[in-house]
Amino acid sequence: MATPKLFTPLTLGQRKLDNRIVIAPMCQYSADGEGSMTDWHSIHLGHLALSGAGLLIIEASAVNAAGRITPWDVGLYSDANEAAMKRTLEAVRAHSPMPIGIQLAHAGRKASCDAPWNGGAQLALDNGGWETEAPSALPYSEGQRAPQAMSLEDIERLKAEFVEAARRADRLGLDLIELHAAHGYLLHEFLSPLSNQRDDAYGGSLENRMRLALEIFDAVREAFDAEKPVGIRISGSDWVEGGWDLEQSVELAKALDARGCSFIHCSGGGLDPRQTLNVGPNYQVPFARRIKQAVTMPVIAVGLITEPEQAEGILVGEEADAVALARGMLYDPRWPWHAAAKLGATVHAPNQYLRSQPHTLKHLFD
């Protein structure tokens, strides 16, 4: 019996993954207030690392303090952040061989917010909030504090901060970097004409709006171990008329592909509260399918992928090279086990759990 494609190896750059299941970055809003990981992250990442997936990507980690979505976001901009992440990684790696990457991010005008379970509203300056920055002085939604438009000096500082975070990730031995250019955060804000109304080299034309994302990719690629992958996550569309769309995403993907980008992770939306979308199974997979036709690098699909047969169909139909799960993995942290059981494949499990396989699935664990 042929191995299901979901459980065949995939190579990102020079890093071989055992299967094509990716655990997408998921913000936990549980850092210590200074951007450093806590015991929660050891528990959270530790149990996801026992799932049998091919790759685990750490949540969006801010490259400076002002780039956090909330005061409790993880950062990778200080020695304390690096030391705390090192402790977490050592605990996880002691019990799992799963490759671990990190998503480097800056929230732009969507920073300075409360935790989602507290409503997620923008925090006032006298209530723990801070001034935000963006390509242009345009707030995310009506009634919010406007961000400060970034100067050219601010842009140079930002690039240096991404590079420093990449060097920290390298010292930590992380296997991969994903740049966050999706969901309405800073790099996405530069890409979209809805949020970027600059009249300099970083605004106006598509070439200019792509400039910062490409420059940061180049700088991070140079700073990170050449044998390790650097990729990017994008929103395929703003789902707002006149905004960032799929054809612009294709042009960005082509430019990144030409620069040696290791993978592209295709999500959508998040830039503008006016977005209109029809949420359903595979609803963002068309972004991956279209971009895959235009590039040689591996493409990762997301979008309410919940069933093993559904994930297998995406790969067999050559709509993407891998699938990523986020909320679905939180809901079912052993999703890869259950997918392997249903599709007739094998999956890695720790020795301590080998006795857990049902009597009818004696060959589930490799």
Q: Is the pLDDT of residue 345 over 80?
A: yes
Backbone torsions φ then ψ of 52, nearest 5 degrees:
90, 5
Q: Which residue has the tokens 């006298």?
A: 126
> What average pLDDT does the segment 18-33 reach?
98
| The CATH number of domain 8-325 is 3.40.50.720 | no
Q: How confident is the model at residue 216 (pLDDT cuts 50, 70, 90)?
A: very high
Token digits for 98? 């799963």
Instruction: Spell out where the chain has E strands.
Output: 10-12, 15-17, 21-23, 55-62, 100-105, 133-134, 148-149, 176-181, 230-235, 264-267, 299-301, 322-325
> What average pLDDT does the segment 320-338 reach?
97
Residues sharing a CB contact under 8 Å with residue 15, sequence separation 6 or more, in sequence order: 99, 175, 176, 227, 228, 229, 262
- Percent above pLDDT 70 for the chain: 100
- The number of CA neighbours under 13 Å toward the Cβ of 344 is 5
Tell me, what's the pLDDT at 227? 96
> What average pLDDT does the segment 119-145 reach?
97
Integer distance in angstroms from the first to the last C-alpha of the chain?
16
Q: Is the pLDDT of residue 366 over 90?
A: no
Is residue 135 classed as helix, strand or coil in its secondary structure?
coil
Question: Which tens digits make up the pLDDT trace of 49-60?
Answer: 999 999 999 999
Which one, of 105, 153, 147, lies nearest residue 130 by Cα? Answer: 147
- Percent above pLDDT 90 for the chain: 96
DSSP 153-168: HHHHHHHHHHHHHHHH
**Active-site amino acid positions:** 185
Q: Is 270 left (phi over 0), alpha (psi -120 to 50) or beta?
A: left
Question: Which tens digits make up the pLDDT trace of 144-203?
Answer: 999 999 999 999 999 999 999 999 999 999 999 999 999 999 999 999 999 999 999 999
Q: How confident is the model at residue 277 (pLDDT cuts 50, 70, 90)?
A: confident
Full-prediction pTM beyond 0.95?
A: yes
Question: Which tens digits make up the pLDDT trace of 219-252?
Answer: 999 999 999 999 999 999 999 999 999 999 999 9
Tell me, what's the pLDDT at 362? 85
Tell me, what's the pLDDT at 278? 83
Q: What is the 3-state secondary structure (H, E, C) of 89-112?
A: HHHHHCCCCCCEEEEEECCHHHCC
